Chains A and B, each alone.
Chain A
């Protein structure tokens, strides 16, 4: 079974937005956003995803990426 990873750092770099700025816009703490960036979470609420997409002007598919098992290192 593959896994879903978050590409938050890539989208943030594209939008040139800092972690602090995003955390203020989304209402999630710096620590939790950092966990999200490093893939240390196992689930994400729709409400959090909506807030991130709203702040970054993107689609959920821009942040989430599915990696099939055979392509994993």
Chain B
């Protein structure tokens, strides 16, 4: 009964992971195409008309939506887009690798073998991917947001006579480290489970 539930859940999760993988791959292709287009227009005289889109400026917990913000440096805006796209591509590549690893974990589970010898190694790999993805997304986001401040004339939304200085405080979400540790712990549990399974298989 429990085995059937596990097989059913693993099959459902695998289908979900497959769909997420397809979406991520499609997103990656779109990002590459978009980046190439932006790179081409960056150095040409062609200027797309949609660059004055709305932006959100965050001050602490307060987010201010600003429309028709003037682009003061179009090349900086392109650099911001390319940096953001590169950051997104790197993060997505890690996600795609993670999805593939999840599917490798689910494969023996679909066949009713939750304590397969390959699962602990794949769980550990997933833990490292979570750490890599977390660090990369934090680092690349901070890197790309710098270009945005160069691109727009943000000074127009503040009374600059009263602004005496700027500081950028990057905040990091470190939940991914906890998730990675849980995955490492699970890998040890599954390794022990695989050992018990082997002993059980060799007992008549």
Contact = CB atoms under 8 A, between A and B. Distances in A.
Given A43-B199, A43-B203, A44-B203, 8 more contacts: A32-B204, A41-B202, A41-B204, A42-B202, A42-B203, A43-B204, A45-B203, A45-B204
Contacts of A45: 203-204
A19 B202 CA distance: 19
A12 interface: no
B196 to A, nearest CB: 12
B103 to A, nearest CB: 32
A73 B189 CA distance: 37
**Interface residues on chain B, size class:** under 10
B181 to A, nearest CB: 33
Contacts, number: 20
A36 interface: yes
B16 to A, nearest CB: 38
B202 to A, nearest CB: 4
Contacts of B203: 41-45
Top 10 A-B pairs ranked by shortest CB distance? A43-B203, A42-B202, A41-B202, A48-B204, A41-B204, A32-B204, A44-B204, A36-B204, A45-B203, A43-B202
A22 interface: no
Interface in A1-54: 28, 32, 35-36, 40-45, 48
A60 to B, nearest CB: 14
A5 to B, nearest CB: 14
Contacts of A43: 199, 202-204
Contacts of A48: 204
Nearest to B200: A43
20 contacts: A28-B204, A32-B204, A35-B204, A36-B204, A40-B202, A41-B202, A41-B203, A41-B204, A42-B199, A42-B202, A42-B203, A43-B199, A43-B202, A43-B203, A43-B204, A44-B203, A44-B204, A45-B203, A45-B204, A48-B204
